[in-house]
Structure 1
Amino acid sequence: MSTPTPAILRPEDYGATLGKDATSAFQKLFADVDRRLGRDAGGSVPVATVEIQLAGSYTVSDTITTPAPGRAQGLTIRGTGKRSTEIVMTGAAPMLVNQDRWMGVRFYDLSFRSTNPAATCLISYGAVGAQDWGWTNCEWRGTWLRGIGLDGGTNSNLNSEFMFDRCTVTGSYEDAWFHSGLSPQYPQQDQFLNYSFRDCKMEARYGDILRFDKGGAINVSGGSWIHVDKRPDGKPSRFFYMPATTHYDSVQSLTVVGTRFEPRDPANLVIDSSWKGQVQFIGCMDDAWAFKAYSAADDYAPHRYTNPGGVRYQGCQLTGRHRYTQTAAPSRQAIVYDQCARTVASRRTKPAFLDLQGGYVASMRISHRDDRDGIN
């Protein structure tokens, strides 16, 4: 395999014109990317020798990546800025499909927008080749089924090391913006792990933000997470949703540091988790809407856990109640509140703050340390 001359590729080079559907142009562009792969001096996976540069608004109606066998790595797609560069999806198909091929892919300074509520921005099928994708200063907006979905079959693996830096999520998501484990019947999908979200603005109208039926090991730092509205069907929108499925212990980890949450409707939740691993919020707050009357209601519980393992809140400002449902005898459980405070005065006692349900609540281990409201 010879090494082609490095180049900059643009959709306009393949026939994209302003105001017309550019699906065919993008498909030709990505096919050319595959033809220009070069040798990796340090390994056996071919590398991209081009960079894709976008400027302006492009409309597409079908999947724009082209299937190809084997693995590839090191592709960069670069725009000129959020909203000044965007790809608009009008069709129901996934805009991007990674069929266990690409790793080391980077997106910079562009937006993805959908006008079709059945669309998905990216579906990544992982076995051995899908990993290490990153987005910097990118945005998702419009109406979607989901933003990013991770899937795979009996040989599922990888789909790991996804990083989001100073990204923005607006619009609506009928499923979720990021959904790991689209086919949770495959235990191997618990090998999907290591996801970082740094200083992101999650400001969706409605829909779950992170949903993990499989996989995990999630780190969130900084940022502002907002649900602007409630779902039309009345169901909750959740920032973190970990439904009750089987998981390996090693992937059930969520750490959130210095993040500000605004659910903005009593139906919306900060977290709904059935994980038995470790969940911790450090220096976070969800009290921006504590002035609303519903924040003092007994049934307002924006943090909810079912049969949890380790839960820790440290130095957080909290609104509403925290609901724990224990339907089985707890094992290796520790729930700790360390130097936390409740914004609403009526929630500053243990019975008023904790909403304990299920037949095994008497066996739960919940402790309060150096509590700012005097709970012990």
Structure 2
Amino acid sequence: MTTILRPEDYGATLGAADSTEAFRRLFAEIAKRSRRDPGGDRLQTPVIIDLSGQYTVSGTVSFAAASRTQGITVRGAGKRTSEIVMTGAEPLFTNPDTAMGVRFYDCSFRSTNPKASFLYSTSTGGAQDWGFTNVEWRGRWNYGIGLDGPPEDSNCNSEWFFNNCHVGGSYEKAWLWSGMTPAIKQQDQFLNFSLRDCKVEYDSGDALRFDKGGSINVSGGSWIIKGRRADGQPSRFFHFPAGSHYDSVQSLTVVGTRFEPRDPANLVIDSAWKGQIQFIGCMDDAWAFKDYAKADDYAPHRYTNPGGVRYQGCQLTGRHRLTQTVAPSRQAIVYDQCARTVASRRTRAAFYDLQGAYASSVRISHRDDRDGIT
């Protein structure tokens, strides 16, 4: 039997009054409502947290429980109709290696404090399988979702999905930041992230930052960076910094997504992964009419020592920068039936920005290119 809990029942009030302690009492009650499943693992009694309006929270609310649990659902009446406003300089939620199978539906989260974060999740196996449907983030954040973990077996901040979500606001670090402590090798095993038909239209920062590895699938949606960072540094949809990675966990597949970086400083991708990256049926040409799209230094797709990169049926603007600082191994860069929107970029020499000591060794091939590049 499903239990429905309302923040108002624990002292929360709608509006500007601080309801932090009420939410803490609610989650403490949830932690008590658990039973064991037939397999012996502790299973959270099915609970729905019903958000009926706008609440204000100034401190962290924890998903902590006595042991690993699952079954919590947070449900609202619609984006901005049901909203939690974070005013403090902390994560709104923390998951200390306990909550699995958590679901969020039809609600919004907004920060008025640029030092705030939405969620800090740390794992040694008890934090995985989180899903968001029709959920919105807006306001000013340090980061949105941060996935971390101590050294031992910290490989289960995995299996996350986002359906029809809206990412707005601004982020000092990133909206989704995985592998927050890159020195921990096990964080390369934070895997399997799916984003479907999302509206990623935010002001500045990185959308997805993976300091370690990951397996990421994006399909559909509109992705727009509306502004630029105050310090002039690039904002990026995909940021995969250099570091030690296992080859098997460096995978990005993007299908049918429309990108608008909207500023010459902003990037579609900045990747040092050596795994497989592919864009299929995507476009980034909405702002090709801008003068900067014709400039030699405009390169919204950037790769450093890449492994496998493939663009299939894409419409592309600007240049692609490939920096090769080491002798390439098992490398293949392929463009299949693609087109360059800006006429001045429809030759190999004009389209590629090859840099690094081994730039001449970069292997690039074209198949059925719509601009006739061979």
TM-score (norm: length of structure 2): 0.98
Q: Distance in 2 between matches of 1:201 and 1:50?
A: 28
What residue in structure 2 maps to residue 216 of structure 1? Answer: 214
- Looking at structure 1, the residues matched to 339 and 63 of structure 2 have their Cα atoms a distance apart, in angstroms, of 52
Aligned length: 372
Match of 1:11 among 7, 13, 25: 7
| Counterpart selection for 1:205 from 194, 203, 206 | 203
Partner amino acid for 2:52?
A: A
Counterpart in 2 of 1:255?
Answer: 253
More displaced, 33-42 or 235-244? Answer: 33-42
> Matches of 1:164 and 1:43 in 2, distance apart?
30
Counterpart position of 1:195: 193
One-letter code of the match for 1:139?
E
Match of 2:85 in 1: 88
In structure 2, distance between residues paired with 1:18 and 1:312: 50
Task: State the shift of 1:47 in Å.
Answer: 2.2
Distance 1:50 1:209 in 2: 30
Partner of 2:306: 308
Give the equivalent residue in structure 1 for 2:167: 169
Q: Work out the CA distance in 1 between the residues paired with 2:170 and 2:47.
A: 34
Match of 2:47 among 41, 50, 53: 50
Query: 1:26·1:65 contact (CA, 8 Å) conserved in 2?
Result: no
CA contact (8 A) 1:40 1:47 kept: no
8 A contact 1:189–1:215 mirrored in 2: yes
1:101 partnered with 2:98: yes
C-alpha displacement at 1:37, in angstroms?
A: 1.0
Alignment of 1:255-274 (within 5 A): 255-274=253-272
Match of 1:339 among 332, 337, 340: 337
Secondary structure of 2:102's counterpart equals strand
CA-to-aligned-CA distance 1:89-140 (integer Å, 9 cap, x gap): 0001110100110100000000010000000100110111100000000000
- 1:16-35 equivalent positions in 2, closer than 5 A: 16-19=12-15, 20-35=17-32
Paired letter, 2:134? N
CA contact (8 A) 2:34 2:42 kept: no
* Structure 2 counterpart of 1:112, one-letter code: F
Match of 2:361 among 342, 360, 363: 363
Q: Secondary structure at the match of 2:370?
A: coil
Q: Look up the match of 1:375.
A: 373
User: Quick check: 1:147 aligned with 2:144?
Assistant: yes
Partners of 2:216 and 2:2 lie apart in 1 by: 35
Q: 1:332: how far off?
A: 0.5
Quick one: distance in 2 between partners of 1:185 and 1:250? 18
The answer for the alignment partner of 1:65 in structure 2 is: 62
- Identity of counterpart residues, as a percentage? 70
Whether contact under 8 Å (1:167, 1:199) holds in the other structure is yes
Residue pair 2:35, 2:42 contacting (<8 A) in 1 also: no
Q: Return the alpha-carbon distance in structure 2 between the equivalents of residues 292 and 213 of structure 1.
A: 32
Give the equivalent residue in structure 2 for 1:287. 285
Q: Which amino acid aligns with 2:355?
A: Q
DSSP-derived class of the 1:38 partner: strand
Q: Is the 8 A contact 2:129 2:159 kept in 1?
A: yes
Residues 277-326 of structure 1: CA deviation (Å, up to 9, x unaligned): 00000000000000000000000000000000000000000000000000
The superposition leaves residues 1-24 of structure 1 with CA deviations (integer Å, 9 ceiling, x where unpaired) of xxxx64210000000112311100
Which secondary structure state, in structure 1, belongs to the residue aligned with residue 159 of structure 2?
A: strand
Q: Give the Cα separation in 1 of the matches to 2:91 and 2:363.
A: 45
Question: What SS class does the counterpart of residue 174 from structure 2 fall into?
Answer: strand
Decide whether the 8 Å contact of 1:38 with 1:49 is kept in 2.
no
- Separation (CA, whole Å) in 1 of partners of 2:45 and 2:115: 31
Alignment-derived partner of residue 40 in structure 1: 37
TM-score by length of 1: 0.98
Amino acid at match of 1:132: D
Measured in 2, the distance between the counterparts of 1:66 and 1:303 equals 38
AA matched with 2:317:
T
1:125 lines up with 2:100 in the alignment:
no
Q: Secondary structure at the match of 1:143?
A: strand
Cα-to-partner distance string for 1:15-71 (whole Å, 9 max, x where unaligned): 011231110000000000011112323552322332111111000000112533310
- From the superposition, tell whether residues 66 and 258 of structure 1 become closer, same or farther in structure 2 (CA, over 3 Å): closer
For 1:289 and 1:68, locate their aligned partners in 2 and report how far apart those are by CA, in whole Å: 49
Structure 1 unmatched runs, 5+: none
Segments of structure 2 that go 5 or more residues without pairing to the other structure are none
CA distance in 1, matches of 2:151, 2:39: 30
The residue type equivalent to 1:83 in the other structure is: R
Corresponding residue SS for 2:42: coil
8 Å contact from structure 1 (residues 296, 344) kept in 2: yes
Say yes or no: does 1:229 pair with 2:215.
no
